[in-house]
Structure 1
Amino acid sequence: MSPGQLPLPLVYAAAMGEADFLVSDANRDAVRWLETWRDWPRPQAVLTGPPGSGKTHLARVFEGRTGARVIDDADAADPETVFHAWNAATADRPLLLCARPVPPAWPHRLPDLASRLAATPLLTIRDPDDTLLAAILAKHFADRGLRLSTEVAAYVLARVERSFAAVAAAAAALDAAALDAGRGVTVPVAREVMEAQFDLGLD
């Protein structure tokens, strides 16, 4: 990079294929339930989990496999739309509602919808374990075309907040720092980022 040249922010596409979804104890129950959709007691399900946990990725894989209707951020969607989608779901075209909070916390005021959601199976993606955090960090790097060394991975994972969102934020910050420096992500680069990113919950 020449002196004074500004690094351009790159738009990257996360790998969202079925083979790119990472299965661990945090999401295994949800994955198994979606795999057995033909045996569901009713053709609807709710998928919840923390930010960055892969809800949208898993929902898109499910949609591609089954032709299901998927509503992201269902807690913020028009309740009438959700209500009619729930009623329209069939065994051949099930409905998957995705949201961060569980349905009792959704801010709608439709008693008929509330009663339906109360009877809908709830699938939950739990907080990640160390193995999944490491795999997610590696995926974020791979999505950006970055090399993640064992040393950098160990350094970051020992200091990052134990959440999907914090790992994603750390990867983005490391990518930006490496681009700005015109070099790869090294331990010194990681140290600078980790010491500066207090807003990410990093040490």
Structure 2
Amino acid sequence: MTGANRAAAAWLATPALWPVPVTLLIGPAGAGKSHLARWFAASHAGTVIESAETIDPERLFHAWNAATPAQPLLLTSRHSPRDWGHGLPDLASRLAATPQIRLGEPDDELLGLVIGKLFAERGIRVQDDLIHWLVLRIERSLAAAQAVVARLDAEALARRRAITIPLAREVVDGQGELGF
């Protein structure tokens, strides 16, 4: 855990203290919602519904009602429930009573870990100094991290070069319009 998600993890670690047996975890794509949800499900006898805004409102309503302190419910979403447009007043009132935990964009530590993970998922070994260099120069978002790793991978393959700071400098300095 890093500072960016430590408060959310602390909340999810203690569902017995929640005012209702349901919590909604809200954050942008790639912010760590799924990671925290898997950790929550493994740590507690709880239920997880990811991308709750896309679930049938009746199903969501029944899942909310079925949650208990012994089997809490964690919902994840990119958006606040007021933006879901589900149209069920009873569900709306339950969601209004549901604690909402928000994940923001990553801090430097989390962004570095994500960049390292993205390279590893592609089978690419890079030096820690490259990751640090990227963290200091790209936009503070997971989308930017994904874009820069993909672009560096493509450029390294096309040029038949290793991914190094000089290559990253060329790509990052020449690709400002991509948000990194």
Normalised by the size of structure 2, how large is the TM-score? 0.89
**Identity over aligned residues, as a percent?**
49
Q: For residue 81 of structure 2, what is the aligned residue in structure 1?
A: 103
| Residue correspondences, number | 180
Deviates more, 1:180-189 or 1:57-66: 180-189
Q: For residue 103 of structure 2, what is the aligned residue in structure 1?
A: 125
Contact 1:27 1:124 in 2 (8 A): no
Residue 170 (structure 1) shift: 1.4
Within-5 A mapping of 1:44-193: 44-193=22-171
Residue 31 (structure 1) shift: 0.2
2:114 is paired with a residue whose SS is: helix
Render the CA deviation track for 1:101-124: whole Å, top value 9, x for unaligned. 122222211110010001011111
Which structure has more helix as a fraction of its residues?
2
Distance 1:180 1:68, change over 3 A: farther
* Structure 1 unaligned residues grouped into runs of 5+: 1-22
Render the CA deviation track for 1:125-153: whole Å, top value 9, x for unaligned. 12222222222212222333322224422
Q: RMSD across aligned C-alpha pairs, in angstroms?
A: 1.9
Letter of the 1:184 counterpart:
A
2:101 is paired with a residue whose SS is: strand
* Structure 2 unaligned residues grouped into runs of 5+: none
Contact 1:62 1:68 in 2 (8 A): yes
- Return the alpha-carbon distance in structure 2 between the equivalents of residues 137 and 76 of structure 1: 28
Residue 163 (structure 1) shift: 1.0
Q: Does structure 1 residue 201 correspond to structure 2 residue 179? A: yes
- Return the alpha-carbon distance in structure 2 between the equivalents of residues 59 and 182 of structure 1: 39
Residue 92 (structure 1) shift: 2.3
- Return the alpha-carbon distance in structure 1 between the equivalents of residues 80 and 54 of structure 2: 12
2:53 is paired with a residue whose SS is: coil
Letter of the 1:109 counterpart:
G
- Return the alpha-carbon distance in structure 2 between the equivalents of residues 199 and 71 of structure 1: 35
Deviates more, 1:93-102 or 1:189-198: 189-198
Q: For residue 20 of structure 1, what is the aligned residue in structure 2?
A: none
1:75 is paired with a residue whose SS is: helix
Runs of 4+ off more than 3 Å: 179-183, 195-199
2:20 is paired with a residue whose SS is: coil
Contact 1:146 1:184 in 2 (8 A): no
